[in-house]
Amino acid sequence: MPFQIDEYLRLRPFAYHVTSRNNLLLLRSSRRLRTAASVIRDADAQHLTTLRRDREHTLVTPAGQIVLKDQRPLIAANLELAAGWSLGDFVEYLNSFTYFWPGNDRGPIGQGQRLLDHYEADSPAVLRCRTQDLLESNRDLAPQFCPFNSGAPRYHSGRRARRGPNLFQSAALFPRRASEVIELGFRGDVELPTSTLVRTPSGWSNISRLAN
């Protein structure tokens, strides 16, 4: 059922993003979180546009090297795609978004925490920002909401996960309650607010204070 953004902000006041630690210094200088599609285009690596990534890819762009994480949880056998869609179409759709896990000051919701646990051995970088600040820093991008982990389809009650072009919806069109939002997405590159924090061994530190 549709919901108001204010309701979502009260429920999920923080947003989390997981990326390769190798991307941190560039993120510190640019404070711009880019879609995979944007990175692929700048790196002239169009062969990756519709290709499911079974490993990390380090791409060279005019701004510097950027690591795209793998898409191993995207298992084609678990998918029921919309009419006329191929797996490549779905990969291209996923590549057009930047993603955040909803949460509070203690951490992301369960699905996000499970992803962190899955990648913990790789020592990923975890970004945290206030959802309100994130929206205000990207007023030209409408927030989109998804009731699933979009890139990790799974069987449910013996049925494949249905995926198509309406996977992400605005708050006004979202078919469930605000509490059932699993992912917050933006279709385009995102400006990180100045208040963005990065997880460190000693706690959370502002991204601008990261050492070279």
Q: What's the average model confidence in pLDDT over 113-124?
A: 79
105 Cβ contact partners less than 8 Å away, ≥ 6 residues apart: 13, 14
Q: Are 198 and 125 in contact (CB under 8 A)?
A: yes
CB atoms within 10 A of CB 204: 14
The predicted pLDDT at position 53 comes to 97
Q: What's the average model confidence in pLDDT over 171-183?
A: 96
Q: Which of 20, 26, 96, 33 is nearest to 62 (CA)?
A: 26
Of the pLDDT bands very low, low, confident and very high (cuts 50, 70, 90), residue 195 is very high
* 136 CB burial (10 A radius; 0-12, 13-18, 19+): exposed
DSSP code at position 202: T
Of the pLDDT bands very low, low, confident and very high (cuts 50, 70, 90), residue 208 is confident
pLDDT > 90: what percent of the chain? 85
Of the pLDDT bands very low, low, confident and very high (cuts 50, 70, 90), residue 105 is very high
Given a cut of 60, is residue 212 above it in pLDDT? no
Q: Mean pLDDT for the chain?
A: 93
Given a cut of 90, is residue 147 above it in pLDDT? yes
Q: CA–CA separation, 43 vs 16, rounded Å?
A: 26
Encoded tokens for 39: 């990175």
Q: What is the pLDDT of residues 165-176, one digit of tens each?
A: 999 999 999 999
The predicted pLDDT at position 211 comes to 59
Given a cut of 90, is residue 116 above it in pLDDT? no
131 Cβ contact partners less than 8 Å away, ≥ 6 residues apart: 8, 9, 12, 13, 14, 15, 102, 184
The predicted pLDDT at position 177 comes to 95
Given a cut of 60, is residue 210 above it in pLDDT? yes
Q: What is the pLDDT of residues 32-79, one digit of tens each?
A: 999 999 999 999 999 999 999 999 999 999 999 999 999 999 999 999
Of the pLDDT bands very low, low, confident and very high (cuts 50, 70, 90), residue 139 is very high
